[in-house]
């Protein structure tokens, strides 16, 4: 079944590369370029398969590779992008100049993942494993609520990423259909990646992705503060939560969305069952299956929803996110947990100490932290701002979206 591995040919070497082999490969590529990887080994006098040569070049020999320890900034970028993109290492790598996807993947698996786990954060969902950390009633209740919202947020981010990626591709192809000769397709050599809109080529139009993310921030906490019936906050009170991004967005969204159309997404979750579904209305039904798959992956959290029902007796918006001082934590900013833990992770050299201070019982049992309402809000704003900045500064050829 399938094709046989490329290295099964007799006489082809496998395993670690010798300095001599490196030298041959390097010399050949410097002189001729790699051309067809399949043909390269024989031309370069290497007893390797083309795939092995390509890997050696892209992960090790390429001159624009930085090796060595990851900086704090790089770690932060990886964690944030992983929260946003999941295991899409190549996409993450485009935001870390001179780092390869393989290196990032290894670093994640050997360092960051372990550190997150050690700190009680699920490295897959980037949410705290709350009940293991927090025991007191108030704490576990708040943590459970935050966790639930973080899960919704995680699912939303997945959807958002897909939506925006599709939108970009769509707008790109639309430009070609319109016959606008001013926009040439990015001719990125032999890449088989889908055409990516080049910043240089693109008209100066606002990015939908940013709008969407910004809109979420706006909508989320504005609505929760309003306490009206349509928003996320109240939606979560019911067994079925609905988040709608509509082209008929209300005026309050005008800062982010006023002039731009937003495809309508209806995110219908059923907190009492293990099923979730995403509906989208408008012009983008065609990617729904994939989109839905992603959502379902992201919604794997439903398995532990029963943990939360214990603490979900009150109303979600009005009770669960109220701090001890009575201030409301914006519901749209539920990733305060993530930011808190991310900061903790990055700032802490001693994991144990961080654990006890960050998630422990040193704050007299207060829910979240006593005066943390505004701090959490600010921190979380910073968290999303930093992600937005990352997105904003995406390389033009980034496959991120």
C-beta of 324: minimal distance to DNA in Å?
38
Is-contact 246 261, C-beta < 8 A? no
Question: Using an 8 Å Cβ cutoff, are 243 and 156 in contact?
Answer: yes
Among candidates 82, 127, 72, which has minimal Cα distance to 104? 82
Stretches 47-55, 300-308, 326-334, 360-368: which one binds DNA (CB under 7 A)?
47-55
By CB under 7 A, is residue 91 in contact with DNA? yes
56 near DNA, judged by CB under 7 A = yes
Residues in the chain: 401
36 vs 349 by CB, closer to DNA: 36
Spatial distance between the Cα atoms of 231 and 222, rounded to a whole number of angstroms: 9
What is the DSSP secondary structure assignment for residue 102, as one 8-state letter? Answer: H
Among 32, 38, 176, 353, binds DNA (CB under 7 A): 38
Which residues from 8-27 bind DNA, rule CB under 7 A? Answer: 13-17
| Nearest distance from C-beta of residue 273 to DNA, angstroms | 27
Q: Which residue has the tokens 């989109």?
A: 291
**Residue whose pair of structure tokens reads 């393989």 in the numeric block:** 102
CB of 191 to DNA, least distance (A): 5
CB 321 within 8 A of CB 303: no
Q: Does 2 bind DNA (CB under 7 A)?
A: yes
Residue 173 in the binding site for DNA (CB under 7 A)? no
* Residue (of 276, 320, 298, 339) closest to 146 by Cα position: 320
* Residue 90 interacts with DNA (CB under 7 A): yes or no: yes
- Which residues, other chains included, contact 46 with Cβ-Cβ below 8 Å and sequence gap of 6+? 21, 24, 25, 40, 53
Nearer to DNA, 190 or 205 (CB): 190
1 counts as binding DNA under rule CB under 7 A: yes
Under rule CB under 7 A, residue 240 binds DNA: no
DSSP 88-128: -HHHHHTTSTT--HHHHHHHIIIIIHHHHHHTTEETTTTEE
Binding-residue total with DNA (CB under 7 A): 48
Q: Does residue 55 bind DNA (CB under 7 A)?
A: yes
Strand pairing report for 240-245 and 127-128: unpaired
Which letter does DSSP use for residue 322 in this model?
A: B
Q: How far is the CB of 385 from DNA (least distance, A)?
A: 25
Residue of 20, 36, 326, 364 interacting with DNA (CB under 7 A): 36
- Give the CA count within 13 Å in the CB-facing half-sphere of 381: 10
**Of 41, 50, 263, 269, the one binding DNA by CB under 7 A:** 50
Q: Minimum distance between the CB of residue 159 and DNA, rounded to whole angstroms?
A: 18
Position 41 contacts DNA (CB under 7 A): no
Q: Degrees (nearest 5) of the Cα angle 170, 174, 179?
A: 160
State the sign of the Cα–Cα–Cα–Cα dihedral 285, 286, 287, 293. Answer: positive
Residue 41 vs 330, nearer CB to DNA:
41
Nearest to DNA of 54, 170 (CB atom) = 54
200 lies in the site for DNA, by CB under 7 A: no
Contact range with DNA by CB under 7 A, out of 54-62, 73-81, 316-324, 359-367: 54-62
Contact criterion met (CB below 8 Å) for 357 and 398: no
DSSP string, 66-92: --SPPPHHHHHHHHHHHHHH-S-HHHH
Which of 192, 248, 303, 350 binds DNA (CB under 7 A)? It is: 192
- Assess 107 for contact with DNA (CB under 7 A): yes
The binder of DNA chosen from 23, 87, 240, 273 (CB under 7 A): 87
Q: Which residues bind DNA (CB under 7 A)?
A: 1-3, 5-7, 13-17, 35-39, 48, 50-52, 54-56, 58-60, 67, 87-91, 101-103, 105-107, 109-111, 114, 190-194, 399
């Amino acid at each position: 079944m399938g094709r046989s591995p490329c290295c099964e040919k007799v006489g082809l070497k496998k395993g670690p590369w010798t300095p001599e082999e490196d030298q041959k490969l390097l010399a050949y590529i410097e002189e001729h370029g790699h051309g067809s990887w399949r043909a390269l080994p024989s031309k370069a006098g290497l007893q390797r398969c083309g795939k092995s040569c390509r890997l050696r070049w892209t992960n090790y020999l390429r001159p624009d590779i930085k090796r060595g320890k990851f900086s704090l900034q790089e770690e932060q970028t990886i964690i944030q992008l992983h929260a946003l993109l999941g295991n899409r290492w190549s996409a993450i790598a485009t935001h870390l100049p001179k780092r390869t996807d393989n290196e990032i993947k290894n670093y994640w698996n050997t360092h960051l993942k372990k550190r997150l786990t050690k700190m009680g954060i699920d490295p897959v969902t980037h949410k705290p494993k709350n009940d293991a950390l927090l025991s007191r009633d108030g704490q576990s209740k708040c943590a459970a609520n935050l966790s639930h919202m973080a899960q919704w947020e995680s699912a939303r981010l997945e959807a958002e990423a897909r939506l925006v990626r599709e939108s970009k591709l769509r707008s790109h192809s639309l430009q070609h259909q319109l016959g606008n000769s001013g926009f040439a397709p990015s001719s990125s050599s032999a890449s088989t990646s889908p055409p990516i809109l080049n910043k240089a080529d693109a008209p100066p139009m606002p990015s939908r992705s940013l709008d969407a993310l910004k809109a979420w921030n706006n909508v989320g906490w504005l609505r929760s503060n309003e306490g009206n019936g349509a928003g996320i906050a109240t939606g979560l009170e019911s067994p079925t939560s609905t988040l709608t991004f509509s082209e008929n967005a209300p005026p309050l969204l005008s800062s982010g969305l006023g002039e731009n159309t937003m495809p309508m997404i209806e995110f219908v979750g059923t907190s009492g069952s293990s099923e979730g579904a995403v509906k989208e209305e408008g012009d983008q039904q065609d990617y729904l299956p994939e989109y839905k798959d992603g959502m379902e992956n992201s919604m794997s959290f439903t398995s532990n929803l029963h943990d939360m029902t214990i603490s979900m007796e009150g109303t979600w918006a009005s009770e669960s996110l109220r701090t001890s001082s009575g201030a409301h934590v914006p519901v749209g900013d539920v990733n305060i947990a993530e930011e808190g833990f991310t900061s903790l992770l990055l700032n802490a050299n001693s994991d144990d100490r961080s654990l006890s201070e960050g998630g422990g019982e040193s704050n007299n049992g207060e829910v979240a932290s006593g005066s943390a309402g505004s701090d959490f809000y600010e921190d979380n704003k910073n968290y999303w701002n930093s992600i937005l900045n990352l997105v904003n500064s995406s390389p033009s050829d980034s496959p991120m979206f």
